[in-house]
Amino acid sequence: MDPDAYLTGQLLIAMPSLADENFAQSVIFLCAHSDEGAMGLVLNRPLRTPTFETLLRQLDVQPVPPARRIQLCQGGPVDNARGFVLHTADWTGDGSLRVDERLALTASLDVLQAIAAGQGPDRGLLALGYASWGPGQLDAEIHQNAWLSAPASLDLVFDGEHETKWRRALASLKIDPLLLSAAAGHA
């Protein structure tokens, strides 16, 4: 596959016909996409529990209460006991993976310690779990008309308006979900 066709740093937007309960009306930030597969975080499935403070206590991260908080979301159906902080690249730690020039992904406690202390990245969210696809799987799903891709705006990635995120992601492409067809056309 042409490396320019990879969607790392883009949004995946579920088509209205996607019925899988894990992904229906989901907006996913793609942290990695290559010929080896893809990994992303669902952005519009907020978690009510645990709270950020409860999670910090469980991980023995101080201070509690924290000087700053970030939102928590269900990042996907895979390994939902594992946490990933998607954040602006103005802060990185030893374990941070640079997604693109604007965003990084960190799975180590140092980012939570920095945020709890009132420091760290300007913006971030903590995802429990993730979505993943094997080699060629995401490309096949896109070809089958299950997903659209769109540029990822920081406001859409980090805002807390989860109820409307899917519609706003589609609107960023100037698409009305009511006018979308489930049938794929390929030339």
Q: What is the CATH number of domain 3-179?
A: 3.40.1740.10
Exposure string over 112-145, b if 16+ CB within 10 A, otherwise e: bbbbbeeebbebbbbbbbbbbbeeeebbebbeeb
Neighbouring residues of 82: CB distance < 8 A, sequence distance ≥ 6: 107, 128, 129, 130
Where in the chain are the domains?
A: 3-179
What are 11-27's pLDDT values in tens digits?
Answer: 999 999 898 999 999 99
Q: pTM of the predicted model, to two decimals?
A: 0.91
What are 79-130's pLDDT values in tens digits?
Answer: 998 999 999 999 999 889 999 999 999 999 999 999 999 999 999 999 999 9
Mean pLDDT of the chain: 91
User: What integer pLDDT is reported at residue 171 of this predicted model?
Assistant: 92
User: What integer pLDDT is reported at residue 176 of this predicted model?
Assistant: 74
43 burial (CB, 10 Å; 0-12 / 13-18 / 19+) is buried
What are 37-50's pLDDT values in tens digits?
Answer: 999 999 999 998 99
Inform me whether the pLDDT recorded for 8 exceeds 60.
yes
Inform me whether the pLDDT recorded for 181 exceeds 90.
no
End-to-end CA distance of the chain: 18
User: What integer pLDDT is reported at residue 3 of this predicted model?
Assistant: 52
User: What integer pLDDT is reported at residue 75 of this predicted model?
Assistant: 97
